[in-house]
Structure 1
């Protein structure tokens, strides 16, 4: 159903961070468990150096995501529940982008 899993997105984000991108959003935001939601957006920006804080955050997110998935896989949610997760992610993403505009 989904093109990429959250773990795959985290790993691709890590690859980009090692190529000079920086995290602008925390990869583990919200109180929704990592293995419960099919949606969790990550915001990155191109930087001219390796951001060690971004490396540490993304590595921790990968470790914790693996741990959660090993304990319990993401449920096969109904369309309505999936749509609710999508709306929550969009709301958090919108608020994060609004906050970031003030920083950049």
Structure 2
């Protein structure tokens, strides 16, 4: 099994990887996914993918998938600083509720999944 956990609010990630990867799915917004990741980091997990990766701004998508290590070690200040800064950045945005049609939401799920695919390829290499 892989050495990482995927934390996501993207149902497409669960559909695609749910049987082969360890996934924690939460039905929460982007900012709260970062909070879930922060909780893992404070327990000693390493941050393996960037919380603000991609060119889609947090206010333009409700979906985010982030990888953390399965291994729990000591608390790493660099990960704490990165996740706390990311939470503050995302807090400045709010998802535009006008983007609520299913096609657009599916497209945003695909963007998040594609970014995750890249991170998985790097982690599995």
Question: TM (normalized to structure 1)?
Answer: 0.86
CA RMSD between the two structures: 1.5
* Structure 2, unaligned runs of 5 or more: 1-25
CA distance in 2: counterparts of 1:47 and 1:16, whole angstroms: 9
Where structure 1 has 5 or more consecutive residues not aligned to the other structure, the ranges are none
TM-score (norm 2): 0.73
Higher-helix-fraction structure = 1
Tell me the SS of whatever aligns to 2:46. strand
- Give aligned pairs, total: 98
Q: What residue number does 1:24 align with?
A: 48
Alignment-derived partner of residue 3 in structure 1: 27
Higher strand share: 2
Instruction: Report the alpha carbon displacement of residue 90 of structure 1 after superposing the two structures with TM.
Output: 0.9
Shift of 1:76: 3.6
* Kept in 2: contact 1:17–1:54 (CA 8 A): yes
For residue 14 of structure 1, report the CA deviation from its aligned partner. 0.7
